Structure formats: structure tokens, C-alpha cells
Amino acid sequence: MILPLISALLYIGSYLHTGFYFLTFFALIPYFIFLFQETKFIRLLIGSIIWKLIILVGVVYFLFDPFLNLVKLLPFLGLPLTIFFTKKYFKKINIGIFLLIISIGFFIFDCISNYILLSFLGLNIGSSLGGSPFLGLAGMGGLLGMG
């Protein structure tokens, strides 16, 4: 359960005004390793809750409404459920395909929790890299590709 904590701390570090914006590019790696290694559903669920709550607490200074961001946790819990069933029913899955499933699942459930149920698009768009030297990346992926 240490990997979700490390991932959340890296993500929080990218928000602080310390110049460590590059941590945004590496913050999800420990969390994805945790999702890949963990086999018990309850630990996947608890690890994901811990990861999301630590990020919420760590970036509360930059958020508009912490309560609404807590509500965003519920749809995101579909990701550990997806990972658990993928591991359970596809026992001999290639790591590349598994990483693709994790990435697509993360994207889908993050979009559902951030941009569909409660439209936080205006508040969250590019929030982690908007004030960084990486602002030029918006030309390639738009502001959505930055945060």
C-alpha cells in the first residue's frame, strides 16, 4: 500500500510552487505498478481510495470546493473494479495489453468523475501544468492534455 502513497505525494509535489512540475509526468507510475501487482479486490479498492484522498487533501489549496471533489471519488472507484475483473478473468494477459487496459480505464473513470458528472472542466483543466514551463505542451494536446 506504499505505492499509492508515493504516487499521491509525487502528484502533490507537482502542484506546489517549488518548481517540481516535472513530477506530473512520473506521478502515476507507482499507482499503476500497485494496480498491476495487487491481487485482492479490497486492497485495490482501499489503495485507490487512499490515493485519491491523499491527493484531495494535498491539493485542497488549489481546489475550488473540496466537498465536490470528494464526491468525484465515487465514480473513480470503477477503476479498481475493472482491474480486478480483468486480472480475474484474463489470467494469462500480456503486460502490454494490461497496461493499455489500465490506461484506458484510468482515462474513462477519470473523465466520468471529473468532467461528466460534475463539470469540473473549467476548474481542473491544465491545473497541474498550467503555471509551469511546460505550458508549451498545450500546443500539442490542448489544455486537456496538460492536466
Note the pLDDT tens digit of each residue in 76-106. Answer: 788 888 888 888 887 777 888 888 888 888 8
Position 55 confidence tier, pLDDT thresholds 50, 70, 90:
confident
Which residue from 83, 85, 84, 111 is spatially nearest to 99, judged by alpha carbons? 83
pLDDT higher than 60, residue 118? no
CB 109 within 8 Å of CB 75: yes
Alpha-carbon distance of 55 to 33, in angstroms, equals 17
Question: What count of Cα atoms within 13 Å lies in the side-chain half-sphere of residue 15?
Answer: 17
CB 82 within 8 Å of CB 105: yes
Instruction: Give residue 46's pLDDT.
Output: 92
The predicted model scores a pTM of 0.72
Instruction: Return mean pLDDT, the chain.
Output: 76
Note the pLDDT tens digit of each residue in 65-74. Answer: 666 667 777 7
CB neighbourhood size of 103 (10 A): 12
